[in-house]
Structure 1
Amino acid sequence: MSESKKHLNRRQFISKSAKTAAAVAAVTGFPTIVPSSVFGKHAPSNRINVGAIGAGRISRSHDLPGVWKFDTAQIMAVCDLDQKRAAEGKVLINEFYTKKNGKPFDGVSVYHDYRELLANKDVDAVLISTPDHWHARIAVDAVKAKKDIYMQKPASLTISEGRAMSDAIRKSKQVFQIGSQQRSSPQFRYAAELVRNGRIGDLKTVYVGLPGDPSGDEEPEMPIPANLNYDMWLGSTPEVYYTEKRVHPQKDYDRPGWLRCEQFGAGMITGWGSHHIDCAHWGMGTELTGPVEIWGHADFPKSGLWDVHGIFRTEALYANGVHMVVSNELPNGIKFEGTKGWIFVTRGNYQATASDPVPNADGVKPLEASDSAIIKSVIGPNEIHLYESSDHHGNWLECIKSRKETIAPVEVAHRSCSTCLLHHIVMKLDRKLYWDPSIEKFKNDEEANKMLSRPQRSPYALKT
């Protein structure tokens, strides 16, 4: 029997067993002992069955642990185009549940093509923890398969892909959460509430500090590992020769090289910008729109495999008159500056460096203000209170049960990502651009509008 049919029959068996037990009790008059796992609050029939698509660094360190700690869910499947990573993902999950349950566990199915995982009717929801260039396509296929989605940011490789994805997910009514977990950190919500409730007066300028990425050396062509489906890994992007630093390490789970290749993403402007610009929009009240003017510049490597932006400064103007500045020269975090003071918010004990987030020096405060009275104030009952979540993955699981909207839904995810991509486009063109967020087009600029999408390689294209 196939893995899919095994899992498909499990719920039928549980349901039939419960009904049979109840019938026996009714006929004989004697209570039948039914395991609590059948009728319990977190019984297998009540749990959310989760499939993990992508078993690399972010999946192992963040998304899998973010879900498996909840009894309301169980990770039952793992998929990766790298067979070695898929197998190691299965071991990791089985080992966790073995330790958690105090008995051997081997309940994880392995897939090497995400479409086969999506075809498993017993999978309720998926974690999408793949490289950026696969996000939108997998998400669209997932909602077609009636799966709820938690997806790593950024939302898409291009603005047109993001629009297609948002439209498809909102039409489907599936529950979606983008991995903008700063929204579930209290200091970011509180900072946004303080700004929205006028504690710093009229908001004038928002400063967003992000790092840049260093360049690298030229890398030689290498044989494709037998365990990697490299053609599918490239997906809709152009065919290029394999070299390990273009993809991910074969011996460990260190930071993958694709993060620094423009073929697969835009670099830190979307990698960390998706976090900070999203939270900046939260405080600005511009979550469902974008800027109207964008300008700035960036340095790009002159040679080497890694070609995403390095040092940069880009700026934007919104229709409400707020001016945003994004630069690697600013402190990592978000500074809201108004007519009566300022608020600065960051992750506090962590910072983004050129290579990865690392622990910051002691004494860094997650929330600061020009006057301590600003951050000591209380948001009144009749003031603006923003969506509150104490755990990002937990909020997603709760919303799967309730069918309510998550704290980071798909249109918000698309708008924060599209704004990051606008900043990236202006980096490439190095001139002022005028954007219409209502129709998501540049005004009178054919060259810029061509950059809203990219040519897509068959058969991996997403219809946009």
Structure 2
Amino acid sequence: MKKLSRRQFIGSSAKAGLATALFPAIVPASVFGKYAPSNRINIGTIGTGRISRGHDLPGVWKYEQAQVIAVCDLDTHRVEAGKQLVNEYYSRKTGKTWDGVKGYSDHRELLLNKDIDAVIISTPDHWHALACIHAVQAGKDVYLQKPASLTISEGRTMAEAVKKSGRIFQIGSQQRSSPQFRYAAELVRNGRIGDLTTVYVGLPGDPSGDEEKEMPVPANLNYDAWLGSTPKVYYTEKRVHPQTGFDRPGWLRCEQFGAGMITGWGAHHIDSAHWGMNTEYTGPIEIWGHADFPTHGLWDVHGIFRTEALYANGVKMIVSNELPNGVKFEGTKGWIFVTRGDYRATASDPVPDASGVKPLEASDPAIIRSEIGPNEIHLYKSDDHHGNWLESIATRKAPITNAEIAHRACSTCLLHHITMKLKRKTILGPGSRKI
């Protein structure tokens, strides 16, 4: 396909979305049945960088019912690297030379492939919502990396598009499929710590950086399209992704493309907090806080911060990167703390800090030894997030994190980010339920 300017790409994307909305959804080629080739779920991946290679592709190709048949990226070098990665995996698995993966440099072309039943979207944050909208309008089921959107309004549009399409949607909030997070939420919702009063959410931090000079755009990167709907800014490698290797990309620390850790890890932890609070389909009614932002350098996402939010049920949420990484539920009869582990931020990525942090702790060990009785609240159980998505595609039953839940977690994160900027209390009121 001819290389388009950013304006042409966005404009034609909008037209393509409208056009596909006028046609009925494409029926997936993979229908029920044991995993004969004709009955497998054919998957395309949009975005073939670090999270795709290290998490999303391995998360689905391990299942016999899934077959990755296409990869897409705006960087042609990454298209080829993605094809090679998947072909080599299937070559090892089958013991035969495998060359069955098609590469695309435009996700709209990939979506026209009727052999593809579902897509994994692992792009930078500012492309999440639009790529998802295009995918469900094209009749594809979607696994979308979190956060759901760059802005609240586009997240709401995305959630409505998924609902209208009837497609299966899973957001990449894999903590929902981790036993300690589910169990913590069940304990809280069944009153093991009394009445819930306060939830503390601790996030990793993000280091700032230096000024970076303008560089020529690599011939292999469609930078105009990569910028998407965001303002045009000069290219420098650290603003986008490494041209060699797949280390943590610099766009994660540029507000133009994502809000920083408040959405990067906040989308995980605030979703887990909402699960325990029973506020998955709403949001705060008041919010206030502050943050330090870099005064120079390319990377401009928030630094040290503390924000607080009040919910209609009277529970307060406090979010800060000066709290332990995880979610602490505090009630009138004790507390529960749940986490993946202790993490610290490095120049490349948050990494485990070998300090022996337990995944689940409580003020009284008896709390976490408690069993949830048959007549108590039992939450949706998933043991593997990608596997749950594939099962939902086959059965057409809802996965563990639908589009509305994904949007509400993300919109809450974005409200915390907005209050960092405003540095004052914002009264949202009951209308926040419609955000």
Q: TM-score, normalised by structure 2?
A: 0.91
3-state SS in 2 of match to 1:136: helix
* TM-superposed deviation, 1:191: 0.1
3-state SS in 2 of match to 1:99: helix
Structure 1 contact 313–328 (Cα < 8 Å) conserved: yes
Assess, with a 3 A threshold, how the Cα gap between structure 1 residues 206 and 60 changes in structure 2: closer, same or farther.
same
- Partners of 2:417 and 2:428 lie apart in 1 by 13
* TM-superposed deviation, 1:353: 2.2
Query: Counterpart amino acid of 1:369?
Result: A
Q: 1:332-391: CA deviations, max 9, x gaps? A: 00000000000000003x525254232331522100000000000000000000000000
Match of 1:376 among 351, 369, 375: 369
Match of 2:409 among 395, 416, 423: 416
Q: 1:125-155: CA deviations, max 9, x gaps? A: 0000000000000000001100000010000
Q: 1:93-128: CA deviations, max 9, x gaps? A: 000000011111110000000000000011000000
Query: Counterpart amino acid of 1:379?
Result: I
Query: Counterpart amino acid of 2:239?
Result: R
Match of 2:120 in 1: 127
Assess, with a 3 A threshold, how the Cα gap between structure 1 residues 352 and 174 changes in structure 2: closer, same or farther.
farther
Q: Pairwise mapping of residues 249-288 of structure 1 onto structure 2 (< 5 A)?
A: 249-288=242-281
**Is the counterpart of residue 144 in structure 1 residue 144 in structure 2?**
no
**Is the counterpart of residue 351 in structure 1 residue 347 in structure 2?**
no
* TM-superposed deviation, 1:435: 1.3
- Partners of 1:200 and 1:439 lie apart in 2 by 28
Match of 2:327 in 1: 334
Structure 1 contact 155–162 (Cα < 8 Å) conserved: yes
Match of 2:102 among 92, 97, 109: 109
Q: 1:173-210: CA deviations, max 9, x gaps? A: 10000000000000000000000000000000000001
Structure 2 contact 282–433 (Cα < 8 Å) conserved: no
Q: 1:224-281: CA deviations, max 9, x gaps? A: 0000000000000001110000000001100000000000010000000000000000
- Partners of 2:324 and 2:333 lie apart in 1 by 21
Structure 1 contact 156–162 (Cα < 8 Å) conserved: yes
- Partners of 1:263 and 1:386 lie apart in 2 by 36
Match of 2:93 in 1: 100
- Partners of 2:239 and 2:351 lie apart in 1 by 23
3-state SS in 2 of match to 1:337: strand
* TM-superposed deviation, 1:215: 1.3
Q: Pairwise mapping of residues 170-319 of structure 1 onto structure 2 (< 5 A)?
A: 170-319=163-312
Query: Counterpart amino acid of 1:411?
Result: E
Match of 1:430 in 2: 423
Match of 2:64 in 1: 71
- Partners of 1:107 and 1:436 lie apart in 2 by 53
Match of 2:155 among 157, 162, 168: 162
- Partners of 1:107 and 1:386 lie apart in 2 by 40
- Partners of 1:436 and 1:236 lie apart in 2 by 30
Structure 1 contact 188–279 (Cα < 8 Å) conserved: yes
Query: Counterpart amino acid of 1:398?
Result: E
* TM-superposed deviation, 1:40: 7.7
3-state SS in 2 of match to 1:358: strand
Match of 1:8 in 2: none
Query: Counterpart amino acid of 1:393?
Result: H
**Is the counterpart of residue 397 in structure 1 residue 390 in structure 2?**
yes
Assess, with a 3 A threshold, how the Cα gap between structure 1 residues 202 and 439 changes in structure 2: closer, same or farther.
closer
Structure 1 contact 294–432 (Cα < 8 Å) conserved: yes
Structure 1 contact 205–338 (Cα < 8 Å) conserved: yes
3-state SS in 2 of match to 1:45: helix
- Partners of 1:409 and 1:279 lie apart in 2 by 14
Q: 1:59-111: CA deviations, max 9, x gaps? A: 00000000000000000000000000010000000000000111111100000
Query: Counterpart amino acid of 1:239?
Result: K
Match of 2:354 among 356, 361, 364: 361
Match of 1:31 in 2: none
* TM-superposed deviation, 1:393: 0.1
Assess, with a 3 A threshold, how the Cα gap between structure 1 residues 277 and 439 changes in structure 2: closer, same or farther.
closer
Match of 1:9 in 2: none
3-state SS in 2 of match to 1:334: strand
- Partners of 1:359 and 1:158 lie apart in 2 by 30
Structure 1 contact 289–438 (Cα < 8 Å) conserved: no
Count of matched residue positions in the alignment of Structure 1 and Structure 2: 405
* TM-superposed deviation, 1:437: 5.5
List alignment gaps of at least 5 residues for structure 2: 1-28
- Partners of 2:424 and 2:269 lie apart in 1 by 24
3-state SS in 2 of match to 1:212: coil
- Partners of 1:187 and 1:363 lie apart in 2 by 16
